[in-house]
Amino acid sequence: MANVLIWSSLRSHTGGQANLQIEAGNVREMLDKLGDSYPGLKPQLQRGVSVSIDGIIFRDGWLEPLKPESEVVLLPRMVGG
Amino acid sequence: MPLDNPQSAARKFNLVGTRPVRPDGVDKVTGRARFGADAVAPGMLVGRILRSPHAHAKIKSIDTSKAEKLSGVKAIVTRDDFPDKTDGDALLYDVLYNVMAREKALYEGHAVAAVAATSASVARQALKLIKVDYEVLPHVTDVDEAMKPGAPVLHPKMFTDGVEPKPKKASNIVRRYEFGHGDVAAGFKHADVIVERSFKTEATHQGYIEPHACLASFGPDGQAELWVCTQGHFMVRDTCARLLGMDVSKLRVTASEIGGGFGGKTTVFIEPVALVLSKKANRPVKVVMTREEVFKSTGPTSSASMDVKIGATRDGRIVSADMELRYQGGAFQGSPVEFGAMAAFAPYDLENVRTIGYDVVCNRPKQAAYRAPGAPMANFAVESVIEEIAHKLNIPSIDMRIINAAKEGTKSSYGPIYGPIGLRATLERAKEHPHFKAPLGKNQGRGMACGFWFNFGGQSCVTMNVGIDGTVSLTVGSPDIGGSRASMCLMTAEELGIPYDKVRAVIADTGTLGYSDVTDGSRTTFATGMACIQAARDAIKKLCARAAQIWGISEEAVTWENGYAKPAGPNAGDFAPLSLKEIAAQAAQTGGPIAGHYELNADGAGVSFATHICDAEVDPETGFTKITRYTVLQDAGKAVHPSYVEGQFQGGAVQGIGWALNEEYIYGKDGRLQNAGFLDYRIPVCSDLPMIDTVILEIPNPGHPYGVRGVGETSIVPPLATVANAVSHAVGVRMTELPISPPKLLKALETLPQQKKAAE
C-alpha cells in the first residue's frame, strides 16, 4: 500500500483528495492503478510523470519498489536543457 | 548507484579533480573539428525551406508547379509529403506540425514548403516560384493578450485543461497547473509586511553560435543516414523514424561536433524535412539554417507574465507565498510553466505556499528548452520580492535567504520532503565571500539571489575497448556540449589506474552503441560518467580474470591496483604484477579482445542550488548598466574537471546577465520579429563583462560513486534576479520588466521623482 501525494491541480480528478492510498508494490503498478481508479488522471499520466520516492526523483523507474512508509509524490516528467 | 566509501574519509583521486587540456580543443581552434554544416556527400543537393511571412494565416493552397520546372530543382515537399503517422500522440503531432505547417501557418517563419536543388541560388529562385495562397488571420504575440476572451484562437480544439467546469469555447490557454501546500490566505494574516508585484520577461534565444545544420541521405532501399548537430542523436533518430514511419534501425544518425545547444538542440526542426527531401530526390540533401531562420524558426524561451505576493513577519520569516505564472510557449502547448511554478519557491522552507501556472499558446515559434527551462523567469520574480521585503525589514539580503532556507526535512514547495541538500552551504559560503564586503562606488549597487534546479539522470550506454598497446577507446553516446569527453576520460583513467592521455573518447553514432538520452538536464557527467565508471570496473574484472588465467590461479585471488593486476595476497602466489599494457599485448592468445560495457537508466541525480552576487554600475545619463563584479557559488558534488565546472557556472551566469540586461524578442504590430540577428539581439560578449568568479562547493552526492552532481543548468536560474536586484539598489527603483535595457531604465529613472512624490 503506497501513500501517493497528487499535486493540487490534479485533485479535481480525485474528488479533491491530495493523498491517495494505492495498493502497489512498485511504480508501474501504482501508475496503472492510479489511472484505473481515477481516469481523469490518464491524460497527464500519458503526457508523462516523474515519481519522487523518499525525496529522490525518478524520471522513469517503473520497477522502483514502494514501501508502505515511503513518501511518494507524483510530479510532472522532468525536463532539462 | 551509491557513493563509494560514504563512511570513510573522502576518496583521494589521482586524476579526477585535475585540469588536463581539453581533448577537442586543438581541433576546434584550428578548424579541423567537423560541425553540422561540414559534412559533404557526392551528388549532394542544397535544401532550403520556404517560411510563412505571416504570423497567423490559413494555407489555402500551395502551387509548386512553376518551381518544379526550374532547371536544377530535384525535389519539392509540402505538407502533402508529411502524412500523419503520429498514431494519436498529440505531442508528436505538434512536432510534425511545427516541422511543416499543415492547415495554418502559426507564426512568422513557420515552414511551409522545402526545395532540394543543385545549388543555393537555384534553391532560392525555386522558393520564390512557389505560390502559397494565404488567408491572413488576426494574430497575437503577447501572453496576457493571448489569454483574453476575444483573442485570436490558434487551435479550434484547444479547451483549457485543469479548470472546472471545462470550458465550452476554445481558447489559447492550454492548461492550468497548481502546486503548493498550507493555506496562503491564512498565512498572510500573520504577516507584518506584504509585498505584491507583477513582473514580465521577454522571450530569449539560447544564442548558440552554430546554426542548425544537417546532411540527410535516404537510399531507395529505405535505409537512411543523417549527419546533424544535436544534443541528442538517438532522440533525432527516434523522432524522425516515427514521423517518417520507418524502423528505427534503418536510420543511422551521427552527431557532429556542436557549436552550442543549451537546450535549443534537444528537438528536431529541419531534420525530418532534409530526410523527406532526400527520399524524394534520391540524393543527399544538406540543410543549413541562416541566423535569421534560427531566431524565427527554432525554439526560443517562453515569455512570461507573473504576479507574486509574499508576506513575512518582522524577523524576516516568510509566512505566506503566492504566485501566478503565465507563460506562452509559442504556437504549441508545452511551455515549461509547471517547472517555473515548482522551482519558484523551491529554495525556501514555507508553511503556506501556492503557485498557479498557465500554459498559453500564441503566434510565436514553438519554444524549446534553455538550460533550466521555466525556472529563471520565476526566480526573477520571487527573488526580487524577497529582496524588497529584506530591504523593508532592514535585514541583509543574504540573511533573509538564510533565515528561510530549505534544509533536510523541509517540505518543498513542489511536494517531496528534502533529503540532504546544499542550499545552506552555498549561502553560508556566500556570506563569508569577500565580494559582500567590497566597497561600492557611485551609481553602483549590489544584488544577490539564490536559485534551484532539478537535474536528472537518464539513460546512458558506454563501451570501453582495450587496444593492443593497452590504450583505451571509450565509446559513449552522449554528444559533448560542455566538456564531457574530458570528464569521461578522467573517470575511466582513474578507475583503470592509467594516465589520462591513454584514454580517448569518441561519440558513437546510433548504429554503433546502445541508446543514450539527450545531453541535457545536467545529466552527462552524472549518468554517462556513472556508466563509464561501471564499464571500467567491468573491464577490470575481465582483466583480473585474464591475469588469473595467465598465472593459473583463481579469479578471486587477483586484485587491480593502480593499473596493475596483482595477486590479492601472499597466499595467491608470487607473481610480478601485470600492467594493463602487458595483459593487452597477450589478449589475442589468452581469449580475445578485452572490453568493458555498461548501460543504465541513472537516478539519484539530486536537486541543485546556487547563490549569485553581482555589482552593477548604472550610468544615469544613458541608462546603461555595466556589471563590475559577479560571483557564482554552486555545489558540484565532485568537480571532475574543475575548469569545465567553472565554465558551466560562468556560461549560465553570462546567459542570465544577457537575459536580464539586453536580450529580448521584439515583435512588430504585424507579428513579425524585428531583431532576428545578433546585431539587434544583443548577447553579452567577453568584452562586455568582468571575470565571472566562481566558488565550487563539493558536498558529495550520495547517488553517484564519486559524488558528482550535475552543474550545467542551475547557474542560469539566479542571474536575472541577481542583476535586477543590483540595478535596483544602484538606482533606487525596482525594475519589474526584463530586459533592463537602457531605454527602459532611463524611463524608470525619469519617473522616479514622481514615484517618490506619490509615495510621500
**Domains of chain B by range and CATH?**
25-33+457-602 (3.30.365.10), 434-445+606-760 (3.30.365.10)
Residues B274, B113 contacting (CB under 8 angstroms)? no
CB contact under 8 Å between A80 and B520, yes or no, is yes
Q: Does the beta-carbon distance from B180 to A8 stay under 8 Å? A: yes
What's the rounded Cα separation, in Å, for the pair B326 and B306?
6
Q: Are B600 and B531 in contact (CB under 8 A)?
A: yes
Chain A nearest C-alpha distance from B339 (Å): 8
CA triple B650-B652-B653, angle to 5 deg: 65
Please check whether residue B180 touches A, CB under 8 A. Answer: yes
Q: Work out whether strand B251-255 and strand B224-228 pair parallel, antiparallel, or are unpaired.
A: parallel
Cβ-defined contact of B419 to A61 (cutoff 8 Å): no
**Predicted complex ipTM:** 0.97
In the 8-state DSSP scheme, what is residue B259? S
Set out the domains of chain A in order of their start, with CATH numbers. 2-76 (3.10.20.30)
List chain A residues with CB under 8 Å of B456: 50, 57, 59, 78, 80
Q: Is A80 on the interface with B (CB under 8 A)?
A: yes
Per residue in B320-353, pLDDT tens?
A: 999 999 999 999 999 999 999 999 999 999 999 9
Q: Does B184 lie at the interface with A, CB-CB under 8 angstroms? A: no
Q: What is the dihedral of CA B428, B434, B435, B437, to 10 degrees?
A: 100
Nearest-neighbour CA in chain A from B655: distance (Å): 13
DSSP B283: S
Q: Which residue out of B262, B601, B709 would a mutagenesis test of the A interface target, given it has the greatest number of A Cβ atoms within 10 Å?
A: B601
Q: For residue range B600-616, what is the model confidence (pLDDT) as tens digits?
A: 999 888 899 999 999 99
Percent with pLDDT over 90 in chain A: 86
Does B416 contact A57 at a Cβ distance shorter than 8 Å? Answer: yes
CA-wise closest residue to B550 among B583, B594, B595: B583
Q: Is B166 helix (H, G, I), strand (E, B) or coil?
A: coil
Q: Are B262 and A81 an interchain contact pair (Cβ–Cβ within 8 Å)?
A: yes
Nearest-Cα distance to chain B for A34, in Å, is 17
Select from B298, B411, B442 the least CA-distant residue to B348: B411
B450 in Cβ contact with B401 (< 8 Å): yes
Task: With CB atoms and an 8 Å threshold, state whether A7 touches B179.
Answer: yes
Helix/strand/coil for B251? strand
Handedness of CA B666, B672, B676, B680 (dihedral sign): negative
Q: What is the DSSP string of B105-124?
A: E-STT-EEEEEEESSHHHHH
Q: Best residue in A28, A58, A59 to probe B by mutation, most B CBs within 10 Å?
A: A59
CB contact under 8 A, A80 and B703: no
Q: Return the pLDDT at B622.
A: 95
CA distance A73 to B418: 12
Mutation site for A-interface testing, chosen from B267, B324, B338 by largest number of A Cβ within 10 Å: B338
A79, B235 contact by CB (below 8 A): no
| Closest-approach residue (CA) in chain B for A40 | B162
Yes or no, beta carbons of B177 and A9 under 8 Å apart: yes
Phi, psi of B22 (to 5 degrees): -65, 140
- β-pairing, B578-579 with B564-567? antiparallel
pLDDT recorded at residue B572: 85
Q: Is B159 on the interface with A (CB under 8 A)?
A: no
| Model confidence band, residue B4 (pLDDT cutoffs 50, 70, 90) | confident
Based on the number of CB atoms within 10 Å of its own CB, is B427 exposed (0-12), middle (13-18) or buried (19 or more)? Answer: buried
Residue among B256, B206, B202, B257 nearest B226 (CA): B256
Residues 6+ apart with CB under 8 A from B555: B544, B545, B548
Q: What is the pLDDT of residues B385-413, one digit of tens each?
A: 999 999 999 999 999 999 999 999 999 99
CB pair distance less than 8 Å for B417 and A55 = yes
User: What integer is the mean pLDDT of B454-470?
Assistant: 96
* Whole-number pLDDT of residue B603: 86
Q: Is B599 on the interface with A (CB under 8 A)?
A: no
Res. B2 pLDDT band, cuts 50 70 90:
confident
Interface with B, mutate which of A3, A6, A9 (most B CBs under 10 A)? A9
N-to-C CA span, chain B:
61
The mean of the pLDDT values for chain B is 96
Neighbours of B697 (CB within 10 A): 19
List pLDDT tens digits, range B84-143: 999 999 999 999 999 999 999 999 999 999 999 999 999 999 999 999 999 999 999 999
Q: Do B522 and A80 touch (CB under 8 A)?
A: yes
pLDDT for B424 equals 94
Q: Does B7 score more than 60 pLDDT?
A: no
Cβ–Cβ below 8 Å for A80 and B521:
yes
Smallest CA–CA distance from B333 into chain A, residue:
A47
pLDDT of residue B751: 84
CA distance A70 to chain B (A): 11
C-alpha cell read off for B583: 595483459
CA dihedral B558, B560, B563, B564 (to 10 degrees): -20
Q: CB distance A81–B266 less than 8 Å?
A: yes
Q: Do B370 and A81 touch (CB under 8 A)?
A: yes
- How many angstroms separate the Cα of A70 from the Cα of each of A51, A65, B321? 12, 9, 28
Q: Would you call A73 an interface residue with chain B, using a CB distance cutoff of 8 Å?
A: yes
Quick check: B758 pLDDT over 80? no
The whole-angstrom separation of Cα B83 and Cα B550 is 61
Tens digits of residue pLDDT in B262-302:
999 999 999 999 999 999 999 999 999 999 999 999 999 99
Taking an 8 Å cut-off on Cβ atoms, the answer to whether A81 and B369 are in contact is yes
Using the predicted structure, report yes or no on whether residue B759 has a pLDDT greater than 80: no
Give the closest of A9, A54, A64 to B176, CB-based.
A9
* C-alpha span between B507 and B256 (Å, rounded): 9
Interface check A1 vs B, CB under 8 A: no
List the single residue in B178, B368, B606 with the smallest CB-CB distance to A9.
B178
pLDDT band at B756 (very low <50, low <70, confident <90, very high): low
- pLDDT for B362: 98
> In chain B, pLDDT over 70 holds for what percent of residues?
98
* Å between B499 CA and nearest CA of chain A: 33
User: Given strand B558-561, what is the order of strands in its sheet?
Assistant: B558-561, B564-567, B578-579
Rounded to an integer, the average pLDDT of B241-263 is 97
How many helices (H) and strands (E) would you count in chain B? 21, 26
Which residue is listed with cell 483573442? B151
B413 contact A CB<8A: no
Strands (E), B361-425: none
**Residues B118/B45, Cβ–Cβ less than 8 Å:** yes
Interface contact flag, B418 A55, Cβ < 8 Å: yes
Between B369, B371, B417, which is nearest A71 by CB? B417
Does B373 touch chain A if contact means CB atoms closer than 8 Å? yes
> How distant is the Cα of A33 from the closest Cα of chain B, in angstroms?
21
Please give the pLDDT value at position B306: 98
Q: What is the pLDDT of residues B158-209, one digit of tens each?
A: 999 999 899 999 999 999 999 999 999 999 999 999 999 999 999 999 999 9
